[in-house]
Structure 1
């Protein structure tokens, strides 16, 4: 089969070939490749992959579940034909979740209690989008937040969908020696970045690095499947929010695993182009270009990150500030390269330093001073 040079597949294949040439063993920066698959119907009407992508030099084939989703509007009860792992909720009219609530229905049809929508999220300042763990519910009901309009929701399953074959780099992927999971290694479906006509929903744009912003995802702590959560965040951001990709440049789970976030093209280190410029992501509305976003999975309002997550965050920030030659203890004037808007911030800031939000959580925010000092130390 001939692959058009503008297709998602061609771009993905080029990325693996390019990144296999960048580094030596154990130090390559991996990219994504998803080869086209033949789909066959399963007993439940879903589709499943029946072929295997050709294994390219430096890659191995792994299987990930295809994400299943069902969109809904308003407060009417929602049912899904699959176990719901997460419910994405968004609205307009207010950035606050006050008065908003959800109740889940289990597989036996039993209705749970109403639970308030989180007000400590990162997304309340990014268009009112929240991700609620649903524990394989069969359905749910919502109450809209006070003053909100256009309530929408998205039932998600990122663990039990039809099999999807992905070519994953064989060697550990690293950025300046620091190991991380590349997009294919956590199961990113690159087709989510594209519109039906094959064009990128949000084409990559690059600007000089200026600052780092720390977030938390306000999800569950002790997450049993953080990679599935990352895939759910990806679907919520790329499709429900219509951003065309996941909003962060990197994510870190409680075990200290670092995940590559926003797609950064076919050249350079993750989150960067070949000239060292930063790809624009979607984590701090109005202040995104030149601002690198790192999200810690979990809720850090009442507890800090795990030792492993803290260590990985420190190591990643240290790598990034050395890469860009900045002082993590400095105060800087951020200038939006698109519209010239300026803001005085710490070189290493929290989401709440930019916008009205509880993110990155009360406890994590108090740790930022220690993070700046630790990142400045030689390690």
Structure 2
């Protein structure tokens, strides 16, 4: 992280046009540039997170369409300097189109706020070749000391060079002592310029402005925006907010300057934005594809969540009216603009679009800007502009006289103007013109006018808020009203769309989107309303909002009874996935793919969504929900597994090879029962699902196998697949003894019987046991788990035959059994002078005896002599004499003490060691 200082010091804030603030007798502080500073926190990318960043599974505050296992890039910092604005930027990449960023901050008291989803910046820089970055909208947080950020894309596209930007706007005495707006524009306008505070007054540091102004030939329209930041600002914070936006736009996004021409705060105060002069046609960076010949006015705050203020709307109208008066733009007319295209424009480059001269950003861009409350004020803004540019009493006549094309369309006036429900209108030979103080003057004709009148005209729909206009797709016509819009296309006719259904229709790109034109008007539904379109339906209710349903999902939902069926109302639009698409409903969902359309509901639906829905490992559904064979649960089959649900266990998915094995065993009717947990990924590309009575483990090298019962309990106590046993390589099998069962693992075998429980044989001891014949041999099944010897290095296992297999790093694994093991154990086994065995028991040639060798000696055993040990110097001399085949024969005693030494007896003699002289004496008889 590095701290950047991008200016000098001090700024000035002021009294607004509509806000009454205190007046001071003494002069206020002089304005001067203020140093905005910022912290840059590198985050890297999901594939290569920066040192301070991390990658987690899923969002902390879940969002629809983001799987709980999806990689999320995150960073938390509480060691930063105080900041008031947050933004996240990344390397410009046209493929990164669906970035989702969540932010929460820690205030100066140390308290953390809630998570806020920050929209992606949809404006575009106007200067060709500029080194720009993708990024979020700037989020004003107020003074903060800590921040946590999470970034993900629904599509899986991976932004690179991600950076968290924390901006502090700096401060100056002028921020709390407002002066008089000082812009004195001398342009020849028909009206006085309203008060606007200059760049100098809000403390713009021109040294960070790298954009060179360019100018359009003329002005044709105004575009209305909102900044989408916090609405909880005070009057004294506004200058700092604008400095922060300027720093973020100019430096962090690489635009070189602030994008808007004018910013209007909630107090009605106006602030100069883009450098180049308010009276000029300087090109801004505020509306992708439509920056040229437009005047960008942005309302400070987020007007998708709260309503605008009257003072703000009055000021927006005032500055546009002054600007239009300079360039002769008709406030109630239309204009034709040519799109320059771009990733955020609704219109391709070169497309000519007819628009109102005052239009909202959302009418040309893929955005909700200026928010639903801001957009609802568009008619009021247009009317306010008209009111300021002329007397309202003759607005209809003035429009008619000024527009030759309109006169040709409408024909001659018929009769005199009339007023109906507060709306003034004039009949013409082929149409009408309507006017109201809040909407301005608009013309209607043809089928749209006829439908408007048939529906009740101004009494029901209010006044028109637009003319009769061609749709952007060029396939029909529409007009907007205070209550709804009427759309017309050939073969369908005019249809009224309103309320939440209209909001959803607009968000889906209206007639140019998947729904096409409306084919009905709003109809009643059980608990809501719906409307039919060429490409689907939109359903709306108070509890769910409005959402579209179309295609195979609609067909399936219809077959199930639509909103009256088990699924209820839709709660989302259709979501596309790599294998199909799904729609969410109140109590479930429908997924459609080439395999067909299938419903899910209840716990199974909830589990599929929690597992990632379209990106879930279990895949997409291939059946409707069915009853389980035992009658206690339910299930859906999926392209890569199943999801089973029961009252006792809830709903859980079983996927891939694990699902195949479990179903082959009998599914919930098998000894394993129902799944009780989601699949878990393991080391070595393994996976496990847990069931009521066991597990099924799978890995690429072992396949899928169940583990349960006593064997499962022992394996669990040893550490599952992380233990020395590793993954199972078989299921449980009957043992050759007909009493117990056994199961093989990559690192050993576990045997279980009712009498002895479960015992594991593993590693080199298991290898030795297997070579001896394992369960099918004389040695029998294990009666102990592998034992660790006191020296910490050796291991041993004991078996049903009484035999034991010992292992140490220096000796390997060897078995000891019968009389030899009895003697070995009585001597304290490997802790004795004998140490670990170095051979199995082997016959002694020419005798009825057997022998086992050890690190420190030997044990000989025969029916006549029993088991006897020989070791040390006596063993050495015994072997020199010829051992058991010598005249001495087999040992008949263990080594024992005598006067001045040690002795071992043999069948035909003895060997004595004199510890005083070191002599070895062999005596035969």
Please indicate, yes or no, whether the TM-score normalized by the shorter chain is above 0.5: yes
Give runs of aligned pairs for residues 269-308 of structure 1, distance below 5 A.
269-270=277-278, 272=280, 278-308=281-311
Q: How does 1:195-206 map to 2 (within 5 A)?
A: 201-206=210-215
Equivalent of residue 215 in structure 1, options 219, 225, 230? 225
Q: CA deviation at 1:251?
A: 0.4
For the pair 1:259 / 2:260, whether they are aligned, the reply is no
1:351, distance to aligned residue in structure 2 (A): 0.7
Alignment-derived partner of residue 155 in structure 1: 166
Shift in Å, 1:96: 4.3
Shift of 1:125: 5.2
Sort the Cα spacing of 1:328 and 1:67 in 2 relative to 1 into closer, same or farther, 3 A: same
Aligned partner of 1:145 in structure 2 is: 152
Match of 2:194 in 1: 178
Q: 1:112 to 1:303 in 2, by over 3 A?
A: closer
Give the stretch that moved more between structures: 221-230 or 152-161.
Answer: 152-161
Deviation track 1:134-178 (CA, whole Å, cap 9, x = no partner) reads 3322231211132451332211111348x99xxx99873244331
Partner of 1:69: 38
Hey, what does 2:592 align to over in structure 1?
A: none
Greater mean alpha carbon deviation, residues 335-344 or residues 362-371 = 335-344
Distance 1:324 1:80, change over 3 A: farther
Match of 1:192 among 194, 198, 208: 208
Cα gap change, 1:302/1:50 in structure 2, threshold over 3 Å: closer, same or farther? closer
Partner of residue 117, structure 1: 117
Following superposition, the deviation at residue 345 of structure 1 comes to: 1.6
Structure (1 or 2) with the larger CA radius of gyration:
2
Equivalent runs, 1:78-157 vs 2, <5 Å: 78-79=77-78, 81-91=80-90, 93-98=95-100, 100-107=101-108, 110=110, 112=112, 115-119=115-119, 123-124=121-122, 126=124, 127-146=134-153, 147=156, 149-150=159-160, 151-157=162-168
The aligned counterpart of 2:358 is 348
**Separation (CA, whole Å) in 2 of partners of 1:73 and 1:213:** 35
Per the alignment, in what secondary structure is the counterpart of residue 290 of structure 2? coil
CA gap 1:81/1:47 in 2 versus in 1, 3 angstroms: farther
Matches within 5 A, 1:329-348: 329-335=332-338, 340-348=350-358
Q: CA deviation at 1:248?
A: 0.4
SS of residue matched to 1:374? helix
CA distance, structure 2, for counterparts of residue 78 and residue 188 of structure 1: 28
Q: Does the 8 Å CA contact 1:284/1:355 hold for their aligned counterparts?
A: yes
Mean CA deviation greater in 220-229 or 139-148: 139-148
Deviations 1:97-119 (A, max 9, x none): 54x211223456x5725513234
Change in CA separation of 1:211 and 1:238 when aligned onto 2, cut-off 3 Å = same
> Which residue number corresponds to residue 320 of structure 2?
317
Shift of 1:76: 2.8
| Distance in 2 (alpha carbons) for counterparts of 1:244 and 1:214 | 22
In structure 2, do the counterparts of structure 1 residues 79 and 376 end up closer, same or farther at CA, with 3 Å as the change threshold? same
Which residue is 2:791 aligned to?
A: none
Give the distance between the partners of 1:48 and 1:234, measured in 2 at CA: 12
Report the alpha carbon displacement of residue 362 of structure 1 after superposing the two structures with TM.
Answer: 0.5
Aligned-pair CA distance for 1:223? 1.2
TM-score using structure 2 length: 0.31
Aligned residues of 1:96 and 1:124 also touching (Cα < 8 A): no
| Kept after mapping to 1: 8 A contact 2:336/2:353 | yes
1:362 aligned to which of 372, 377, 380: 372
Bigger shift: residues 220-229 or 351-360: 220-229
Deviation track 1:209-267 (CA, whole Å, cap 9, x = no partner) reads: 12110000111114121111111110110001101000001100111111111110xxx
CA RMSD of aligned residues (A): 3.3
Partner residue in 2 for 1:25: none
For residues 82 and 371 of structure 2, what CA distance do their matches in structure 1 show? 30
Q: TM-score, normalised by structure 1?
A: 0.71
Residue 201 of structure 2 aligns to a residue in which SS? Answer: helix
Evaluate the alpha carbon distance shift between residue 72 and residue 327 of structure 1 in structure 2; reply closer, same or farther with a 3 A threshold.
same
When residues 282 and 357 of structure 1 are mapped into structure 2, their CA distance, relative to the original with a 3 A threshold, is same
CA distance in 2, matches of 1:145, 1:293: 31
Shift of the 73–254 alpha-carbon distance from structure 1 to 2, 3 Å rule, reads same
* 1:73 to partner: Cα distance: 2.8
| 1:300 aligned counterpart, secondary structure | coil
Match of 1:230 among 219, 223, 242: 242
Moved more, 251-260 or 219-228: 219-228
Partner SS for 1:248 = coil
Question: 1:60 deviation in Å?
Answer: 8.0
Where 1:237 maps in the other structure, the secondary structure is: helix
8 A Cα contact 1:105 1:139, kept in partner: yes
1:3-57 Cα deviation digits (max 9, x unpaired) = xxxxxxxxxxxxxxxxxxxxxxxxxxxxxxxxxxxxxxxxx99899699xxxxxx
Shift of 1:78: 3.5
Question: May I ask how many residue pairs the two structures share in their alignment?
Answer: 305
State the distance in 2 between where 1:352 and 1:319 align.
Answer: 24
- Taking a change above 3 Å as real, the CA distance of residues 295 and 284 of structure 1, as seen in their structure-2 partners, is same
1:250 to 262, 271, 275: 262
Within 1, Cα distance between the matches of 2:299 and 2:351? Answer: 27
Cα distance in 1, alignment partners of residues 103 and 84 from structure 2: 14
**1:217 and 1:295 in contact (8 A); partners too:** yes
CA distance in 2, matches of 1:48, 1:213: 30
**Superimposed CA distance per residue, residues 179-212 of structure 1 (whole angstroms, 9 cap, x where no aligned partner):** 100110111110111xxxxxxx321110121211
Cα displacement (A) at 1:64: 5.5
**Conserved 8 A contact 2:33-2:200:** no
1:376 maps to which of 361, 386, 408: 386
Aligned-partner Cα distance in 2 for 1:136–1:50? 18
Deviation, structure 1 residue 129: 2.3
- 1:61 shift after superposition: 3.3
1:103 touches 1:111 (CA, 8 Å); kept in 2? no
Query: For residues 89 and 243 of structure 1, do their structure 2 counterparts lie closer, same or farther at Cα, with a shift above 3 Å needed?
Result: same
SS at match of 2:326: helix
* Pair 301,374 (structure 1): closer, same or farther in 2 beyond 3 Å: same
When residues 341 and 45 of structure 1 are mapped into structure 2, their CA distance, relative to the original with a 3 A threshold, is closer
Q: Which residue of 2 aligns with 1:12?
A: none
